[in-house]
Chain A
Amino acid sequence: MYDTIAILFANSGFDSLQGLSLEGSIAGMPFGGRYRLLDFALSSMVNSGIRTIGLVTPRHYRSILDHLGGGRDWFLDRKAGGLLILPGAIHGLTQQRINFRIRDIELNLDYLHRNYAENVVISRCNQVFNFNYKDALEFHNKNGADITLIYKIPEKPTDKHGKIRLFLNEDQQVNKIKEEESEHLKVPYFINHLIIRRKVLLDIIHGYKPLETVDLIQPIAENVQTLKVYGFAFNGYIQTIHSVKDYFERNMDLLDPEIRMKLFWGPDSIHTKVADNPPTKHGYQARVRNSLISSGCLIEGEVENSVLSRCVLIEPGAQITNSVLMHSCIIRAGTVLDHVVLDKFVEVKSGNVLKGSRDNPLVMKKTAV
């Protein structure tokens, strides 16, 4: 797929994560024990054969750049192409809920100009999925499409993918794009992945320059009759994270063997930074049930229905249920945690009892307890 490059928007950050992502962005959030959220989008692109990826940075990008390095762990340390950092636009007090800001691309227009690729794949970093774009690209090329929008028909009312509904004809061509609340209807909703011809993208940016804070989907919607816009269905597991509740539930999803199978054990794996930790040790008093445990942990207490990141220490007598612990947390003896999300490096001292609920997990930020 050397005729395809990508733009990955890593600049979505919402304060609805109760401070968990204030410092970084959603893209850099630890997820599923050993990953960061951006690993899913980045790995999907790499597994599709894309070797030139421009990453639009958020306001605070230290932790993201620390994670990415030169891109070696995603096979992106290359002479031709590789991982390119595209500084995102910074303005306003809080970042708006906007997907693909034209301003961000316009600031980095050289990236698109200095390339000969036919197509550009565009997506974001706030989703958990594993998608190989190869079939979609083939479909896009076969139809001679200008733009192919990836959509999904929600299976359950809880599947929230956004509000942008696609109206398709029998040839999968998009006639109309309309923003509307999903009323649990089994109709196609855009899931914020698209393939666009590089030239068309450049035309759009040029034409919409005066309105540069708009979302890329807006010009597409306005010109849907003149451009050749197609829809392509994605049928796998994909979930978007907007809130702490989403974050918590998507972590819990990983305890389901079917979802783990789809995400991690298919032909395409999810790549991430290697940390070279020792393996995890379960001690004599450890009692772990239905949990996902990353490497480098020392476990002497009880853990149930939980996701533990790297290098978590759990002392004897600690009880952890229904919780998500990010890396290097220390849980002292005699502690009880239930429905809790712990930030990195949090130490919970002996005797603390922390309880949240499924709808409202208790979030403890760095060095809070």
Chain B
Amino acid sequence: MLLAGGQGSRLGPLTRNIAKPAVSFSGKYRIIDFSLSNCSNSNINTVGILTQYKPFLLNSYIVQGSAWDLDAPGGGVHILPPYLGENEGSWYKGTADAVYQNMEFIDFYDPDYVLIISGDHIYKMNYNEMLKFHKEQEADITVSTLTVPWEDASRFGLVTCDENARIISFSEKPAEPEMNLASMGVYIFNWKVLKLALIEDSEDLISDNDFGKNILPRQVQQGKRVLAYNFQGYWKDVGTIDSYYQANMECLNGGSSLNIFDPRHKIYSNEDILPPQYVGSAAKIENSIVCNGCNVLGEVSNSILAQGVFVGEGVCIRDSILLPHAKVYNQTHIFKSIIGERAEIREHCLIGANLRSDSEQEGITVIEDHHLIPMDSVIDAGRNVYRLR
């Protein structure tokens, strides 16, 4: 069950019109590609995708999942939006509620185990290894965990384990963390255990119906065998503009263990067929990722250009991320910014104006998708620029 219904409001202009899992990432991907490719590479071919917020682009991107080889006989990808029944049905109130409302779907396939993952994490993982651990340990629930730096620990849901990797307690984003083992939002449940837990949770009127906050702590309290599976590798929650920017840049600079160039664990995507990128005679591209369909006539450094991006003559782009089909016209300068899909920046603009020579400048400037920034505009660093409605 892939949770893809969250609004992702902390991504500001990037998720104003589309769901967070559908936001473009590292040029040619969308965030959900990572979870879907992990499923595909782990031979999981029955996937329910729980959608709710602005689902059109997400749905049309996923279709039957054939881009990830997930259109399998006797399974496949199912998009599960909220629905009404005779007496039941409502908007999804939380992650657990979303799965609760689709118990019929899971019962239809009657699995032994249910994997719960999220559509907004960047990582490569073979879920089979986790399932193997889950079976070997005869666990009721397995939570995938990751050791995080102490200074970041308060941003995560943290777990405490005993010496046998059995989870003793949970604490959701504590101000003063006592441990640094974080939950990645990847869970394997025995379906019988999950079903009971969901029913119980739905009857609790003060519950937020959230896996991390409600379901897991209660199951630990009840003495279920909840184990921590220690994941080794790169994992990033791209829930904020800062972490989204940082994850993109890590992908570019290869400083992380997330290697998108590794052919053994491919990340698939549902791409449009565009011609190869064209790099002009006066162009200069340095340490950047550039996708198909781009037309680059100016200077680009330490940046990511998604597919179909146009960079005009005399343009200077530094430390920035341009999302699909963004257009930057002649003589415009862009520093440490994220330019939304199909946004147009006209001639002689300055985006991210601040301490121009210093790459350590504060604040990431974000331009909403489809926005048109007129000629000669100056936009200060760190601003979120929305379209007028």
Residues of A within 8 A of B (CB): 32-34, 72-73, 255, 257, 260, 263-265, 269-272, 274, 276, 278-284, 286-296, 298, 307-308
CA distance A286 to B286 in the complex (A): 6
Given A274-B271, A278-B267, A286 contacting B278 (CB threshold 8 A): no
With known contacts A260-B278, A279-B27, A288-B279, A293–B273 Cβ distance under 8 A? no
Bound form: Cα–Cα A369–B304 in Å: 34
Residues facing A in B283-306 (CB within 8 A) are 283-292, 304
Q: Are B268 and A276 in contact (CB under 8 A)?
A: yes
**Chain A residues near B274 (CB-CB < 8 A):** 264, 269
**CB proximity of B285 to chain A, nearest CB, Å:** 4
- Residues from 263 to 284 in B contacting A, C-beta threshold 8 Å: 266-269, 271, 273-284
Q: How far is the CB of B39 from chain A (nearest CB, A)?
A: 15
Alpha-carbon distance A292/B287, docked complex (angstroms):
18
B28 contacts the other chain (CB 8 A): yes
Q: Other than A33-B275, A270-B273, A293-B278, give 19 A-B pairs with Cβ distance below 8 A.
A: A32-B275, A32-B276, A33-B276, A260-B278, A263-B275, A271-B273, A276-B266, A276-B267, A276-B268, A279-B26, A279-B27, A279-B291, A280-B277, A283-B287, A287-B284, A289-B281, A292-B276, A292-B277, A307-B276
Q: Which residues of B contact A292 (CB under 8 A)?
A: 275-279
Tell me which of B260, B285, B287, B288 has the highest count of chain A C-beta atoms within 10 A of its own C-beta: B285
Whether B279 lies near A293 (C-beta < 8 A) is: yes
CB pair A298–B291 under 8 Å, yes or no, is: no
Q: How far is the CB of A71 from chain B (nearest CB, A)?
A: 13
Within B339-375, the residues touching A (CB, 8 Å) are none
Q: Is the interface of B mostly helix, strand, loop or mixed?
A: loop
Contact of B281 among A34, A290, A308 (CB under 8 A): A290
Smallest CB–CB gap between B122 and chain A, Å? 14
Once the chains are docked, how many angstroms separate the CA of A34 from the CA of B275? 7
What number of residue pairs across chains A and B have CB atoms under 8 A from each other? Answer: 100
Q: Determine if A286 and B285 form an interchain contact, defined as CB atoms under 8 angstroms apart.
A: yes
| CB-defined contacts of B281 to chain A, threshold 8 Å | 289-290
User: Which residue of chain B lies nearest to A293 when distances are taken between CB atoms in the complex?
Assistant: B277
Contact A291 B279 (CB under 8 A): yes
- When the two chains form their complex, are residues B28 and A279 in contact, meaning their CB atoms are under 8 A apart? yes
A264: chain B residues within 8 A (beta carbon): 274-275
If the complex has contacts A282-B287, A282-B290, A288-B285, are A260 and B26 also in contact, measured as CB distance less than 8 A?
no
Instruction: Give the distance in Å from the alpha carbon of A288 to the alpha carbon of B292 in the complex.
Output: 15
A/B interface sample: 25 pairs, CB < 8 A: A32-B275, A33-B275, A34-B292, A73-B273, A260-B278, A264-B275, A265-B275, A274-B67, A274-B271, A278-B267, A279-B27, A279-B289, A280-B289, A281-B290, A283-B286, A283-B287, A287-B284, A288-B279, A288-B285, A289-B281, A291-B279, A294-B277, A295-B292, A298-B261, A308-B276
Docked complex Cα distance between A198 and B134 (Å): 63
Beta-carbon nearest neighbor of B270 in chain A = A274
Shortest distance between the CB of A80 and any CB in chain B (Å): 19
Residues 110 to 136 of chain B near chain A (Cβ within 8 Å): none
Nearest 3 interchain pairs by C-beta: A33-B276, A279-B27, A294-B276
Residue of A33, A257, A272, A282 touching B286 (CB-CB under 8 A): A282
- Within the complex, which residue of A269, A276, A286, A296 is in contact with B273, where a contact is CB–CB below 8 Å? A269
Chain A residues, Cβ within 8 Å of B292: 34, 279, 294-295
Q: Given A288-B283, A289-B283, A295 and B291 touching (CB < 8 A)?
A: yes
Q: Please pick, from B266, B283, B285, B290, the residue contacting A279 in the complex, using a CB distance under 8 A.
A: B290
Chain A residues near B284 (CB, 8 Å)? 287
Give the shortest distance, in Å, between A65 (CB) and chain B (any CB).
Answer: 19
**B276 CB contacts on chain A under 8 angstroms:** 32-34, 292-295, 307-308
Complex Cα gap A161–B67 (Å): 39
Q: Which of B261, B276, B286 has the most CB of A within 10 A?
A: B276
Q: Do A290 and B287 contact each other (CB < 8 Å), given the known contacts A34-B292, A271-B273, A279-B26? A: no
A291: chain B residues within 8 A (beta carbon) = 278-279
Q: How far is the CA of A255 from the CA of B277 in the complex (A)?
A: 11
Looking at the assembled complex, report how far the CB atom of B291 sits from the nearest CB atom of chain A, in whole angstroms.
Answer: 4
- Is A282 within 8 A of B288, CB to CB? yes
Cβ-based interface call for B66 (8 A)? yes
A367 to B246, CA, bound (A): 41
Which residues of chain A come closer than 8 Å to B66, judged between CB atoms? 72
Q: Decide if B287 touches A274 in the complex (CB within 8 Å).
A: no
